[in-house]
A and B are shown apart, each in its own frame.
Chain A
């Protein structure tokens, strides 16, 4: 059937069509809909879906499923791969049993990402993990199916590398509708095979050899694969392009009324080197179009030495390393290479003086009670910030965020500042982030005897990424009732002696507790527990 799908929805349909049984991951923008929307249809399709507590656990969860013979899908945003890399790299060594596809969604231009403008493609080369790059939702569907095929055939995890403009792009997609068979959730069987599933020297080095041989075979497969496709033309100026940039290239060429040969790479790793050589051999000029870092350009520069040393290669000298690409950036680069004139794109310049409308706390958000109170009670404190809605502490009118790094980093850094200075330090973190990466730094702060005040803003859900369930809620992604984990009990078990749970609407109590705890000579914790206002309104409607 043909229906308008979001890139993320197309990935779900592709995975269903490939027969996926097990889905894990951690919610982040722009990939979160993969888990959220899968959960709505999983049970009747015999698929198990979960949100793991973090991406590393999510990947390991899928490794367990794969070793038990099930096909699995893991989904995360760019930074997720940093978290799970410790298990991802050995997984390339052991290989998979049941097919596994890992969706990693980058966010060029940082539309919904704080920490860095990460280009995840480095992991593909560094970890030897085959990687496909779709350009649009149709390819999201087709490439997900292909990724499962490759994983099945070569027993390797396959990364489906996407970007915001792919995940959050919509178009009519042709796909095979899976009719809800209402089958039972599928189960596998773990057949013991420690030779295969453990990495321990000297076996580790054997596995590395096996991996490199496997990649050679996959490279041969990539050479023949239709996803590395050539748009033919006899013009001596050519283009190599990957991902969503292909769409912008097509658009720019139409506008310039140019017909240039294009090699669109569906594989990022391993690269079809012979196909690339054949493509660049007759060319005089080549533009390499890729977002962020110049991985393809560097590879092609090496390949051209033996095949066409006179080839003039353009890439990051004409296209930016920072920010996503679009039609106009590529248009201008192509116009320069082909000696065409190019118009000014921005026609109006009104010199508008409008303040930016940055994200703000929602109406009735419980954080409205916390930030002003902290600012008033502890104006001189160092505030270490964390990922989630609490990042808004950094915007006006609050402006109380002295550091912002990665999930859980607020407390790790607060500990370091506390040990290094005589200043008061307050770390601010949400409940979702605490379960993801907050427990380990809390334990560290207690163990190593520092004295930050930790504030956990427990709004009873993982809110920022679109209201995902977390271990503090007593509900799983599939809607099952589960143990409601208590942040207070975890903190006490970590050895925190000063713990207070309060409703931040009681500002006086919050104020006096902050004062009391800031005077302590050890780690203390205030859990500000009040439901997310959006969630509360939604629940009231039901």
Chain B
């Protein structure tokens, strides 16, 4: 709600790696010397259901939750979930949406989802994060870092590239570090 604070909503489907994504962004904010609060959900909501997490960073942050209409960016790891979350967007909210659909009974077709996303009149960035990561890195899960890379490059998220890279090194286990950095770079240059 405070306009000096950056309000971010992450959304997707349980199992897509939202918690790791949130960890990297939290850490990057700290690397930049900012205050940060975030809120996540575990359990029932994680078993393939819709998942939503909130991150807020700035000079001083109290509440870990973004109010309706107050998000600066909605980052969606799945297209339909991006559309669902867009109901909480305000005029200034930018939508960064992974063009990737996890099937759901009764859901509209992909073309219809994208049409409705465009109808929101919010700034919309539709990116093939999963497809690119699958094709170039043989791994879809790291699309989360691709999305961060993209949002940093396009200044959708006020974080410096170096801070995010440091954060990735601080958060991601060494075994997967290289892959995650590659995904970040792929999105950054995408």
Give chain A's interface residues, CB within 8 Å of chain B: 4, 29-30, 32-33, 111-114, 136, 164-165, 168-172, 244, 247-248, 250-252, 254-255, 326-328, 331, 344-350, 352-362, 389, 391-392, 396-397, 464-466
Contacts and interface: CB of A to CB of B under 8 A. Distances in A.
B1 A30 contact: no
A397 B69 contact: no
Given A347-B91, A355-B107, A327 B63 contact: yes
Nearest to A465: B43
Given A112-B43, A248-B63, A347-B69, 12 more contacts: A29-B43, A32-B43, A111-B41, A165-B64, A165-B65, A170-B38, A170-B39, A254-B62, A345-B67, A347-B68, A350-B116, A389-B47
Given A136-B37, A348-B89, A251 B63 contact: yes
B95 to A, nearest CB: 11
A345 B43 contact: no
In this complex, the interface size class of chain B, counting residues with CB under 8 Å from chain A, is 35 or more
B37 A170 contact: yes
Contact of A112 (B15, B41, B88): B41
Interface string B100-119: 00001111100000001001
Interface in B1-46: 1-2, 13-15, 22-23, 26-27, 30, 35-46
A348 B2 contact: no
Contact of A348 (B35, B42, B62, B86): B86
Contact of A327 (B14, B50, B67, B86): B67
A326 B81 CA distance: 22
A326 B119 CA distance: 29
A248 B88 CA distance: 18
A443 to B, nearest CB: 30
B90 interface: yes
Given A164-B41, A352-B83, A169 B47 contact: no
Nearest to B81: A357
A465 B42 CA distance: 8
Given A170-B37, A250-B63, A348 B87 contact: yes
Nearest to A330: B63
Nearest to B49: A359
Contacts of B68: 328, 345-347
Contacts of B107: 354-355
Given A4-B27, A350-B119, A357 B47 contact: no
B47 A392 contact: yes
A254 B1 contact: yes
For B43, B67, B89, which residue has the most chain A Cβ atoms within 10 angstroms? B43
A255 B2 contact: yes
26 contacts: A29-B44, A30-B43, A111-B44, A111-B45, A112-B42, A114-B44, A170-B23, A170-B38, A171-B61, A328-B67, A328-B68, A345-B67, A348-B120, A350-B86, A352-B116, A354-B108, A357-B13, A357-B50, A357-B84, A357-B104, A359-B48, A359-B49, A360-B48, A360-B49, A396-B105, A466-B42
A172 B35 CA distance: 8
A345 B2 CA distance: 14
Nearest to B34: A172
A168 B48 contact: no
A391 B45 CA distance: 12
Interface of B: 1-2, 13-15, 22-23, 26-27, 30, 35-50, 61-65, 67-70, 80-81, 83-84, 86-91, 104-108, 116, 119-120
B22 A170 contact: yes
A346 B69 contact: yes
Contacts of B63: 247-248, 250-251, 326-327
A29 B105 CA distance: 27
A349 B87 contact: yes
Given A29-B43, A354-B107, A357-B81, A171 B64 contact: yes
Contacts of B2: 251, 254-255
B106 A170 contact: no
B1 A169 contact: no
Contact of A347 (B15, B39, B90): B90
A247 B42 contact: no
Nearest to B65: A326
A247 B62 contact: yes
Nearest to A326: B65
Given A169-B64, A345-B68, A4 B90 contact: no
Nearest to A249: B62
Contacts of A354: 80, 83-84, 107-108
A185 to B, nearest CB: 28
B36 A247 contact: no
Contact of B1 (A111, A255, A356, A389): A255
A168 B1 contact: no
A251 B3 CA distance: 11
A103 to B, nearest CB: 16
A348 B88 contact: yes
Contacts of A362: 15, 47-48
A247 B62 CA distance: 5
A347 B68 CA distance: 8
Contacts of A392: 47
A252 B36 contact: no
B49 A357 contact: yes
A164 B52 CA distance: 14
Contacts of A250: 62-63
B86 A326 contact: no
A209 B45 CA distance: 46
B84 A112 contact: no
Contacts of B14: 359
Nearest to B167: A4
Given A254-B1, A350-B116, A165 B49 contact: no
B114 to A, nearest CB: 13
A88 to B, nearest CB: 24
B153 to A, nearest CB: 24
A477 to B, nearest CB: 18
A240 B116 CA distance: 44
